[in-house]
Chains A and B, each alone.
Chain A
Amino acid sequence: MVLITRKIEFSASHLYHNPNLSAEENRRIFGKCNNPHGHGHNYTLEVTVGGEPDPVTGMVLDLKELKGILEREVMQRMDHRHLNYELPELAGQIPTTENIARVIWQLLDPKITRGKLQRVRLYESPDLFADCYRNGAATAGNR
């Protein structure tokens, strides 16, 4: 199996607030991420697809095709959006890096039909990221 990775960047705002918790608990758990007016990040998304290169084209999948999927599924939904209010897929969830990465996996997995989605890595900042993998697909080598 060969892995290929495509990277995109998008900018979005969010805030962390659980309406089932008190204002004090929200501040304690979420700290400054609980600011009611929200704040933003430049997110970097790395999407890794694995498969065998097609004998004719030499490609696992055409990067143009992957680029189009990322544009439609991620950029158009999330870029320059407020993730709390404009992303129905996250409704009722706190838009943490973990949850956004999971939503991105769920959006991309059914759309990637050539090769197979192996990893979604979403950076909220260079020092904080979440990874998604297919559970149980682990082997010591390829993912």
Chain B
Amino acid sequence: MSSALKVELGRRYRFSASHRLHTPHLSEVENYRVFGKCSNPYGHGHNYVVEVSVSGDIDPATGMIANLADLDAFVERRVLEEFDHKSLNEDVPAFRDTVPTTENLCIEIFQRLKSFPKAKLERVRVEETGKNSFEYAGENLEGNRP
């Protein structure tokens, strides 16, 4: 195995959820100024795409950094079951006091996945729509890639 090379495995997942961007630290007028229609009191939804990248040595017996079945099951349990068809504001404890922007969603998903035991979590990238995406690599600057 070439140690001059770093190999990562990337996997995309999907979930649909609603959210509302609103903070009690601002007035109603300021909330609308900052968040616009995303502050609509009844919330709105997105089809999110979550791209998870992990790194590690390729096991010569399997050719894999991590078995996809293990990664899929971990992401399913830690993220998709908790987020899919939910209200991020109401159903995810982390967003009771934090605005569920996709930036914060990236960080929350990273925190939930970083203990994946079979490989090192490098980065989480979330597409809120097909036109915008957000990435978080923890405090590891090496995880930031174009």
The 8 Å CB contact of A98, one of B3, B13, B63, B144, is B63
The 8 Å CB contact of B9, one of A95, A97, A126, A142, is A97
Count A-B pairs with CB separation below 8 Å. 89
Q: Is the CB–CB distance between B7 and A102 below 8 Å?
A: yes
Q: Is the CB–CB distance between A135 and B5 below 8 Å?
A: yes
Q: How far is the CA of A3 from the CA of B146 in the complex (A)?
A: 10
Q: Is the CB–CB distance between B5 and A98 below 8 Å?
A: no
Q: How far is the CA of A105 from the CA of B2 in the complex (A)?
A: 11
Enumerate chain B interface residues (CB-CB to A < 8 A). Answer: 2-13, 53, 58, 60-65, 67-69, 141-142, 144-146
Q: How far is the CA of A97 from the CA of B9 in the complex (A)?
A: 8
Q: Is the CB–CB distance between A94 and B144 below 8 Å?
A: no
Q: Is the CB–CB distance between A143 and B145 below 8 Å?
A: yes
The 8 Å CB contact of B4, one of A21, A130, A135, is A135
Give the bracket for the number of chain A residues in contact with chain B: 35 or more
Q: Is the CB–CB distance between B8 and A131 below 8 Å?
A: yes
Q: Is the CB–CB distance between B63 and A93 below 8 Å?
A: yes
> Contacts of B2 on A, CB cut-off 8 Å?
102, 106
Give min CB distance, A46 to chain B, whole Å: 12
Q: Is the CB–CB distance between B67 and A131 below 8 Å?
A: no
Give min CB distance, B60 to chain A, whole Å: 7
A127 is an interface residue with CB less than 8 A from chain B: yes
Q: Is the CB–CB distance between A105 and B5 below 8 Å?
A: yes
Task: With CB as the reference atom, state the residue of chain B lying closest to A31.
Answer: B69
Q: How far is the CA of A113 from the CA of B143 in the complex (A)?
A: 26
List residues 107-128 of chain A with CB under 8 A from any CB of chain B. 119, 121, 126-128
A-B contact pairs, 11 of them (CB 8 A): A94-B62, A119-B145, A126-B12, A129-B11, A131-B145, A132-B6, A133-B6, A135-B3, A135-B6, A138-B141, A143-B146
> Contacts of B7 on A, CB cut-off 8 Å?
98, 101-102, 130-132
Q: How far is the CA of A93 from the CA of B1 in the complex (A)?
A: 11
Q: Is the CB–CB distance between B69 and A128 below 8 Å?
A: no
Q: How far is the CA of A102 from the CA of B5 in the complex (A)?
A: 8
Given A127-B12, A128-B11, A135-B6; A94-B64 close (CB under 8 Å): yes
Task: With CB as the reference atom, state the residue of chain B lying closest to A95.
Answer: B63
Task: With CB as the reference atom, state the residue of chain A lying closest to B3.
Answer: A135
The 8 Å CB contact of A138, one of B65, B69, B142, is B142
Q: What 8 additional pairs, Cβ within 8 angstroms, besides A30-B62, A97-B9?
A: A94-B64, A98-B64, A127-B11, A128-B9, A130-B65, A131-B53, A132-B7, A133-B6
A99 is an interface residue with CB less than 8 A from chain B: yes
Q: Is the CB–CB distance between A132 and B5 below 8 Å?
A: yes
